[in-house]
Amino acid sequence: MDTRRSFVRRFSVPGSVPRLAAVFSVAALLVPLAAGAGHASSGATNPFCGRLGKSIQASSGAQMFCFHQQPNGTTNQTHTPASSQTTAFSSNADAANPAEDVTPSGVQAYGQSEVSVAAVGPYAVEAWNDATGFFAPCPSPMNKEELTGFGFSADGGNTFVDEGGVPNSNCQADVVFGDPSVEAWRSGGKDYFYITSLFDNLSFSGLSFLELTACQASGTGTSASLSCGQPIVAAVSAECQRFNGVPFCSFEDKEFLSIDPVRGRLYLSYTDFGLTPSSPIFQGEIDLTACDIGTPSGGVGPAGGTAGNPVCETGAPTMPHAVTHTPYFVVQPGQTCENEGSYPAVDPATGDVYVAFEHNWASNFFGPGPCLSDPTTNNVVRVPASCLTLTPVSPCSGPSATTSVPIVSMDAAFVPGYNRFPANDFPRIAVSDPAGTVSIVWNDARSHPLGDIYLQSYSLGSLAAVQSSPVRVNANTGGLHFLPALRKPSPTGSLEVSWFERATANTSLTNVMAAIGVDPTSSSSPSSSVLVTNVASDWNNVSSDIIPNFGDYTDNYVMPTATGARLYVAWSDGRLGDPQPFEAHAGVT
């Protein structure tokens, strides 16, 4: 298994120094503040940063790579009851502790957003972008300098312990920089969690990475604990060039995880913002990585991976005039119009992987010129199991099937109380073997300007459309519907979808809603939605050191139980006047 240090030795451009990826989004149209004391930085000479907010857009992690923290907002949040509607969801639990978000010098940080959650057995883990890392020096107690924070629950998500930042003993070289995704697995009777993040160096030169943190949960009650290892490199820049004598490598962005529990594999999809020899073009190649995590019985996997020590296939190097690196699998080569926001899903019956992403995000109104008339689409591709060998590079040159659905994008919306521009329409994806479908959900303005949540399903294998047109998922129309989550089906094959919702277009009071037991083959909208939050967040009255203040994605996770399944929903919540990572759960069938 290649380590972080071996990658630097093998691929660094001569004379370069490692470069740091980032966390938290800054609206590129805003004037960036000076860097904080914890992580000083300047993106003035970086060609990627020079295009960000002009010809391209990227994730909150990429935005922070260039612009650092952006304090904004106030703290006079009103605790307004969300609704009197009866719900099946538990009380809302804060997975973090604001008292932990204090630096060694005594500075309170504001902002934990962009959340992901997973669960196995009695345990749950939620991870988030953590603003404390903006101000905490390396090293700090509880790894506060890392910009991915996480919380651990040993009672099924009823309460959490804030664990601080993910471990990183070499933070002087590279920092874990958020945009987290979490997966969970039981192997050999033991319970494991996996957290991915951006992972780079603030010097802006040299390679960009994505990392994987492997953790094991054990114990019960107050003796329960989560033990996590050091960062494992899961992806690396596809190429490096020099611009005006300055070394620069393509930027790895917007990663997300899915698991094949039958074969012991993790799959990570992401965007590589690459470049051309003559001038930087960063329009988003969608790539995939495979990691061997052993066998369900606890044994060693084909590539030598185990549950606690994954082995990731990160591609193969070639070195002509500049450093290049062939990714493990190219889902979609970079195009004139930007590809971004990829999410993977595994078909456990066959081992096939499906990846969804948005085409022509932000470039649909920022340009360049051809993109202003290129339809914005959410795309789904199939990668057959035969292509997913545990080798440095897949034997296949591309997907076996591809389809897309035209969307009416909300990316030009200035959402009241949401401090990021542009917004996004990224598709979330899930495979249902009982239904024989792969489905995506996204927010879409086709029916009214501030959007609804739409569903489109396709037949497994062929990707033939199941519905003749997308189906609205939210029962309440009007208002705002934004940032849906979907990852795994229930044991019966139905889908569980959650999202941010506002009752009217003229409020910033925001709740989380869910559609429970959605039939992926249905052409009818659900008759009702379920309230997840028990307090609405007024995002116009929340203090935040990060942009976006309530993230650019939410998450949910279905965990099978003896009587059905438990649905975990995670979101960033402003009820305390400080963005916090909340969780609630409910039984589903």
User: 214, 190 in Cβ contact below 8 A?
Assistant: no
**The two structure tokens encoding residue 301:** 């996997």
Confirm whether 538 is domain-assigned. yes
What are 405's two structure tokens? Answer: 């659905």
- Residue 102, domain member (yes or no): no
**116: domain CATH number?**
2.120.10
Q: Which pLDDT score, from 0 to 100, does residue 36 have? A: 40
Question: Does the pTM of the predicted model rise above 0.75?
Answer: yes
CA atoms within 13 A on the CB side of 492: 12
Residue 97 lies inside a defined structural domain of this protein: no
Domain assignment of residue 103, yes or no: no
Instruction: Measure the CA–CA gap between 169 and 506, rounded to whole angstroms.
Output: 47
Dist CA 498 CA 585 (whole Å): 11
Q: What is the pLDDT of residue 285?
A: 94
CB-based contacts of 246: which residues, under 8 Å, 6+ apart? 45, 46, 205
* Count of beta carbons in the 10 Å neighbourhood of residue 3: 12
How far apart CA 121 and CA 217 sit, in angstroms, is: 10
Asked whether residue 405 is domain-assigned, the answer is yes
DSSP string computed for 456-497: EEEETTT--BSSSS-EE--SS-SSEEEEEE-----TTS-EEE
Residues ≥6 apart with Cβ < 8 Å to 275: 47, 239, 241, 248, 250, 281, 282
Q: Which residue is associated with the tokens 């959007």? A: 451
DSSP structural state of residue 541: G
Q: How many CB atoms lie within 10 A of CB 369?
A: 8
Q: What is the DSSP letter of 261?
A: T
Q: How many domains does the chain have?
A: 1
Question: What's the maximum distance between 2 C-alpha atoms anywhere in the chain?
Answer: 65
If phi over 0 gives left and psi between -120 and 50 gives alpha, with beta otherwise, what is residue 551?
Answer: left
For residue 54, what pLDDT is reported? Answer: 56
Nearest-angstrom CA–CA distance, 25 and 572: 14
Burial of 122 from C-beta contacts in 10 A (0-12 / 13-18 / 19+): middle
* Residue 106 falls inside a structural domain: no
- What is the DSSP code (8-state) at residue 372? G
Beta strands in 201-319 (DSSP E): 209-218, 225-228, 232-236, 240-243, 246-249, 251-260, 265-273, 285-292, 311-313, 316-318
Q: What does the DSSP 8-state code read for residue 428?
A: E
Q: Which of 484, 546, 506, 512 is nearest to 416 (CA)?
A: 506
Angle 355-357-363 from CA coordinates, rounded to 5°: 160
The token pair at 169 is 């003993």
| Tokens linked to 316 | 């193969």
All residues at 6 or more sequence positions from 557 whose CB lies less than 8 Å from its CB, including other chains: 117, 118, 119, 182, 184, 487, 488, 567, 568, 570
The whole domain housing 396 covers 4-89+112-588
CA distance 196 to 175: 13
- Closest by CA to 13, choosing from 353, 355, 319, is 319
DSSP letter at 505 equals T
In a domain, 188, yes or no: yes
| Dihedral (CA of 536, 538, 543, 547) sign | positive
Q: Which pair of tokens denotes residue 176? A: 């874990």
- Residue 472: closest CA among 506, 518, 438: 518
What secondary structure letter does DSSP report for 19?
A: B
Query: What is the residue type of 215?
Result: C
Kindly give the confidence (pLDDT) of every residue in the chain, 589 residues in length, as a single tens digit, with 9 standing for 90 and above.
333 334 433 333 333 333 323 322 322 222 233 334 455 444 445 566 666 655 566 766 555 555 556 555 543 333 333 333 344 899 999 999 999 999 999 999 999 999 999 999 999 999 999 999 999 999 999 999 999 999 999 999 999 999 999 999 999 999 999 999 999 999 999 999 999 999 998 766 678 999 999 999 999 999 999 999 999 999 999 888 777 777 778 899 999 999 999 999 999 999 999 865 444 456 799 999 999 999 999 999 999 999 999 999 999 876 554 578 899 999 999 998 999 999 999 999 999 999 999 999 999 999 889 999 999 999 999 999 999 999 999 999 999 999 999 999 999 999 999 999 999 999 999 999 999 999 999 999 999 999 999 999 999 999 999 999 999 999 999 999 999 999 999 999 999 999 999 999 999 999 999 999 999 999 999 999 999 999 999 999 999 999 999 999 999 999 999 999 999 999 999 999 999 999 999 999 8
The separation between the first and the last C-alpha atoms of the chain, rounded to the nearest angstrom, is 40
CB 275 within 8 A of CB 285: no
Quick one: which H or E segment has residue 65?
helix 60-67
Q: What is the spatial distance between Cα 356 and Cα 424, in angstroms, rounded to a whole number?
A: 14
Position 81 scores a pLDDT of 34
Backbone angles phi, psi at 4, to 5 degrees: -55, -45
**The predicted structure's pLDDT at residue 488:** 96
Residue 442 CA to its chain's centroid (Å): 15
SS3 content of the chain, % helix, strand, coil (to 5): 10, 40, 50
Two tokens, residue 3: 């380590």
Res 239: pLDDT: 84
Task: Dihedral sign for Cα 58, 62, 68, 71, please.
Answer: positive
- Which amino acid is it at 574? G
Bridge partners for 211 per DSSP: 197, 233
With respect to residue 96, please indicate whether it lies within any of the assigned structural domains.
no
Residue 182: is it exposed, middle or buried by C-beta count within 10 angstroms (0-12/13-18/19+)? buried
From the list 481, 474, 469, 485, the residue with the least C-alpha distance to 523 is 469
How many other CB atoms sit within 10 Å of the CB of residue 488? 23
CA torsion 53→55→60→61, rounded to 10°?
A: -120
Please count the residues of the chain.
Answer: 589
Helix (H, G, I), strand (E, B) or coil at 7: helix
